[in-house]
């Protein structure tokens, strides 16, 4: 069903990673991204990738989900690999005209691909194991310091929550409007690109009108429920760090140190680096 788009990302579960505090999950994901970009040789990078598989196994997320999340970025990966392969110096092992493929080029292309794949899979794991609400709460909590420089953090988080809440509602509405317009003879399946784009106008206009009406009613309902911004507001579910989160952070820091040590060692041994 089209309705379940937003919720399709999240796999409810009870694993170690699911139970972690969402703030810590964001911090660790950030650390992991930095780690991927510091790991510049075969050993460190493959270590970091192996770590990712470990995470997926602990979280009990089917590994085939990685391929699913990679699909949309496939062109970027291929493009990066080609660039790295073609424009890297060194002894050519294969040469036609201006195309020179070197051993170093192939190695670099592989490393770069591994890095991007791990990057996508790592960040996807965050959304697979964290519900959208927990994610918005965590973002709100982590950005709280920005309040001091007048960034409306609470309002941004509220907007995100409402957006998530209304995606399925508006999708349902779009389907209804499409059917209504089709019943009136609107043609949406045939014609060129321009014609199809033009056919969307009679769908978008009613959709926007109704979205504004909904926004108006929602604002009224929120006011009736005493909403007055983030000040003085409490939360039902408070984010709590547990020992679990400490363990995860220490584990991550140790691995980060290992990757850095691996980098130093690689340079010393003269291994090719990115």
Partner 1 sequence: MEKFISANGISFGYHSVDEQDKLVTVLDGLNLSINKGEFVAILGHNGCGKSTLAKHFNAVLVPYKGDVIVDGMNTHDEEKIFDIRESVGMVFQNPDNQIVATVVEEDVAFGPENMGIESDEICRRVEQALKDVDMYEYREHAPHRLSGGQKQRVAIAGVLAMRPKCIVMDEPTAMLDPKGRREVMQTVKKMNREHGMTVVLITHYMDEAAQCDRVIVMDKGEVLLDGAPKEVFTHVEMLKNVGLDVPQTTELCFELSKAGVEIPLDILEVDECVDALSDILEKKGVKA
- Which residues are near partner 1 by CB under 8 A? 3, 7, 131-133, 161-162, 164-165, 168-169, 172, 214, 217-218, 220-228, 232-238
Judge residue 140's burial from the number of C-beta atoms within 10 Å of its C-beta, 0-12 exposed, 13-18 middle, 19 or more buried: buried
Minimum distance, C-beta of residue 203 to partner 1, in the bound complex (Å): 19
Where would I find the H helices in the chain?
16-19, 22-38, 42-59, 64-70, 74-86, 103-129, 132-143, 153-183, 193-199, 201-224, 243-269
Minimum distance, C-beta of residue 257 to partner 1, in the bound complex (Å): 37
- DSSP conformation class of 92: E
HSE-CB at 51 with a 13 A cutoff on CA atoms is 28
In the bound state with partner 1, the residue whose beta carbon lies nearer, of 90 and 206, is 206
Minimum distance, C-beta of residue 26 to partner 1, in the bound complex (Å): 19
What whole-number distance in Å separates Cα of residue 118 and Cα of residue 143?
A: 26
In the bound state with partner 1, the residue whose beta carbon lies nearer, of 176 and 182, is 176
Structure tokens at 3: 């309705």
Minimum distance, C-beta of residue 231 to partner 1, in the bound complex (Å): 9
Report the length, in residues, of the chain: 274
Minimum distance, C-beta of residue 188 to partner 1, in the bound complex (Å): 24
Minimum distance, C-beta of residue 153 to partner 1, in the bound complex (Å): 16
What whole-number distance in Å separates Cα of residue 172 and Cα of residue 274?
A: 48
In the bound state with partner 1, the residue whose beta carbon lies nearer, of 241 and 247, is 241
What whole-number distance in Å separates Cα of residue 67 and Cα of residue 194?
A: 33
Q: Is 99 helix (H, G, I), strand (E, B) or coil?
A: strand
In the bound state with partner 1, the residue whose beta carbon lies nearer, of 172 and 187, is 172
In the bound state with partner 1, the residue whose beta carbon lies nearer, of 34 and 162, is 162
In the bound state with partner 1, the residue whose beta carbon lies nearer, of 218 and 261, is 218
């Amino acid at each position: 069903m089209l309705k379940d788009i937003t919720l399709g990302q999240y796999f409810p579960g009870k694993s170690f990673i699911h139970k972690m505090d969402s703030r810590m999950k964001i911090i660790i994901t950030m650390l992991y991204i930095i780690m991927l970009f510091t790991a510049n040789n075969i050993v460190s990078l493959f270590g970091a990738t192996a770590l990712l598989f470990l995470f997926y196994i602990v979280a009990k997320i089917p590994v085939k989900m990685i391929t699913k999340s990679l699909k949309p970025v496939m062109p970027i990966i291929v493009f990066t690999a080609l660039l790295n392969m073609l424009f890297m110096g060194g002894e050519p092992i294969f040469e036609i005209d201006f195309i020179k493929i070197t051993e170093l080029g192939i190695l670099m292309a592989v490393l770069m691909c591994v890095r991007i794949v791990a990057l996508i899979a790592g960040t996807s794991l965050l959304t697979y194991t964290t519900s959208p609400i927990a994610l918005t709460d965590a973002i709100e909590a982590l950005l709280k310091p920005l309040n001091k420089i007048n960034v409306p953090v609470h309002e941004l988080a509220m907007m995100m929550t409402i957006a998530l809440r209304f995606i399925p509602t508006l999708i349902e509405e779009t389907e209804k409007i499409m059917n209504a317009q089709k019943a009136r003879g609107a043609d949406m399946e045939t014609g060129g690109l321009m014609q199809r784009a033009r056919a969307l106008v009679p769908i978008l206009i009613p959709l926007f009108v109704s979205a504004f009406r909904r926004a108006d009613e929602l604002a009224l309902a929120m006011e009736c429920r005493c909403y007055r911004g983030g000040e003085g507001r409490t939360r039902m579910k408070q984010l709590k760090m547990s020992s679990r989160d400490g363990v995860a952070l220490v584990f991550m820091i140790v691995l980060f140190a290992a990757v850095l040590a691996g980098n130093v060692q690689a340079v010393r041994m003269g291994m090719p680096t990115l």
